[in-house]
């Protein structure tokens, strides 16, 4: 049954894409999906200053081109758990975030390369577990800004690389610096 559902989904995507070729020439609005790998470096303080600062995570996004050089994108990001062993407190930490980013792009001649800039908001939830001393779970909205570039392999498939700064402003998590790399598929 799972194979039939997967096959039906793939056929639907390709059928939608075949009809979308004529549709998006007349309209600027065009949906896309994507996936990114994210490397993050967190500035942590207070009780969790000895926690690991580097995180690897994955991010999935759903976006929409709303004008020729502008898009809006919703995302969900989840890190893996990190353990600090050689510190006074053994701390396990992880975080997830979800939010909305606005992207602007500027083509570089006719090469397929584009400069990218982004601004957005995200809800960050970071969890800390202390060895024999309980846990800490904090949630806070943060502001995000990023720059990078993208390359359009085809009219539908593109890759992008971004650097992003996220200001959270919490006592335990001040900010996060991220590098992302991923692929997207536009319909």
Judge whether residue 84 has pLDDT over 60. Answer: yes
Phi-psi region of 154 (alpha: psi -120 to 50; beta: other; left: phi over 0): beta
Q: Which among 43, 44, 60 is positioned nearest to 180, based on CA atoms? A: 60
CB atoms < 10 A from the CB of 39, how many? 13
Could you tell me if 168 and 176 are in contact, meaning their C-beta atoms sit under 8 angstroms apart? yes
> Band of the pLDDT at 86, cuts 50, 70, 90?
low
Q: Averaged over 101-109, what is the pLDDT?
A: 95
Q: Could you give the CA distance from residue 23 to residue 186 in angstroms, rounded to a whole number?
A: 12
Could you tell me if 77 and 59 are in contact, meaning their C-beta atoms sit under 8 angstroms apart? yes
Does 131 reside within a domain?
Answer: yes
pLDDT tens digit sequence for 165-181: 999 988 878 899 999 99
Does 108 reside within a domain?
Answer: yes
Does 18 reside within a domain?
Answer: no
Does 140 reside within a domain?
Answer: yes
Surface-to-core class of residue 168, CB atoms within 10 Å of its CB (0-12 exposed, 13-18 middle, 19+ buried): buried
Residue ranges making up the domain that contains 44: 29-186
Q: Averaged over 117-146, what is the pLDDT?
A: 90
Q: Which among 99, 104, 94 is positioned nearest to 126, based on CA atoms? A: 94
Does 16 reside within a domain?
Answer: no
- In percent, the amount of the chain with pLDDT more than 70 equals 82
CB atoms < 10 A from the CB of 58, how many? 14
Q: Averaged over 64-79, what is the pLDDT?
A: 96
> Band of the pLDDT at 124, cuts 50, 70, 90?
very high
Mean pLDDT lowest among 17-26, 46-55, 143-152, 162-171: 17-26
Does 180 reside within a domain?
Answer: yes
pTM: 0.80
How confident is the model at residue 23, as a pLDDT? 46
Judge whether residue 97 has pLDDT over 50. Answer: yes
- In percent, the amount of the chain with pLDDT more than 90 equals 55
Count of domains forming the chain: 1
Q: What is the CATH number of the domain that holds 179?
A: 2.40.160.20
Does 20 reside within a domain?
Answer: no
Could you tell me if 44 and 50 are in contact, meaning their C-beta atoms sit under 8 angstroms apart? no
Q: Which among 97, 88, 99 is positioned nearest to 126, based on CA atoms? A: 97
Does 4 reside within a domain?
Answer: no
């Amino acid at each position: 049954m799972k194979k039939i559902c997967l096959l039906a989904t793939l056929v639907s995507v390709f059928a939608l894409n075949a009809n979308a070729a004529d549709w998006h020439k007349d309209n600027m609005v065009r949906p896309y999906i994507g996936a990114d790998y994210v490397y993050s470096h967190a500035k942590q303080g207070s009780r969790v200053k000895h926690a690991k600062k580097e995180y690897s995570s994955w991010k999935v996004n759903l976006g929409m081109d709303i004008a020729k050089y502008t898009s809006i994108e919703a995302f969900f990001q989840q890190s893996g758990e990190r353990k600090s062993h050689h510190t006074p407190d053994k701390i396990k930490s992880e975080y997830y975030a979800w939010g909305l980013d606005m992207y602007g792009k500027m083509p570089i001649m006719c090469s397929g390369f584009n400069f990218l800039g982004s601004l957005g908001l995200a809800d960050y939830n970071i969890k800390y577990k202390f060895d024999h001393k309980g846990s800490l779970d904090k949630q806070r909205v943060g502001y995000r800004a990023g720059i990078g570039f993208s390359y359009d392999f085809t009219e539908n498939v593109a890759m992008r690389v971004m650097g992003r700064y996220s200001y959270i402003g919490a006592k335990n998590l001040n900010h996060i610096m991220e590098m992302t790399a991923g692929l997207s598929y536009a319909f």
